[in-house]
Structure 1
């Protein structure tokens, strides 16, 4: 948040809805997505005056990957209009599919899948 005297600008996020039972486009697992609206807000004495720069993003619950939708698609989903998930024009913003964790078979600790050996006990993972 940035304030100069009585004026301020703040970036905000608002979770619109959860969309269940979809296949993640990053990791391929069955998951749900959170539709989040991000925008900038101009404030006067901490009272919102107007918003601009709206973006709609989908956040995958399984791996945390983030996808950006067009403004029109986001508004349609927010209004509750029917949509076909495969027809959405999604731009990947952050791909977290390769950052998912696995469990070490030896010590049971959660570690990143990119490791070949467990950093806790040294057991070979792959």
Structure 2
């Protein structure tokens, strides 16, 4: 008997169709919301998910925020709620962060090296991340 199972990081887009005024750049834009989570699959069928994290990207300037867990859960379930500034924690600009299979990474603005999320300084050039 063969068992095919695996653990993977899954990205799921969450629909949100409201026009916003960006608190970073002051321009009109929209929020692109997505959820990242770890998923255990058996025979390519997702069995359970954990470590859910919600992220919001502003379409106008690329500002990237981590969304409050409760608000993200409500949006994922289809509730029509407003995202307020207090629900967001600024993470950086989207071109500074990359997404890898099982980790969240930072990109050094000085040399472009991709470092792990918990690094404070770039291991290649020493620049503060």
Matches within 5 A, 1:84-123: 84-86=82-84, 88-95=86-93
RMSD of aligned residue pairs (Cα, Å): 2.2
Question: Who is 1:115 aligned against?
Answer: none
Residues 96 and 16 from structure 1, CA distance in 2 versus in 1: closer, same or farther, beyond 3 angstroms?
A: closer
Question: Who is 1:65 aligned against?
Answer: 63
Question: Who is 1:122 aligned against?
Answer: none
**Bigger Rg over Cα:** 1
1:30-87 deviations in Å (ceiling 9; x for gaps) = 1011121111111122221111111111111112211111211111223343434335
The runs of at least 4 consecutive aligned structure 1 residues that moved more than 4 Å come to none
Secondary structure of residue in 2 paired with 1:83: coil
* Whole-Å separation in 2 of the counterparts to 1:17 and 1:90: 17
Residue of structure 1 aligned with 2:40, choices 39, 42, 47? 42
Contiguous gaps of at least 5 residues in structure 2: 96-129
TM-score (norm 2): 0.61
Question: Who is 2:8 aligned against?
Answer: 10
* Whole-Å separation in 1 of the counterparts to 2:14 and 2:39: 17
Contiguous gaps of at least 5 residues in structure 1: 98-126
Residues 53 and 31 from structure 1, CA distance in 2 versus in 1: closer, same or farther, beyond 3 angstroms?
A: same
C-alpha displacement at 1:96, in angstroms? Answer: 5.3
Moved more, 79-88 or 8-17: 79-88
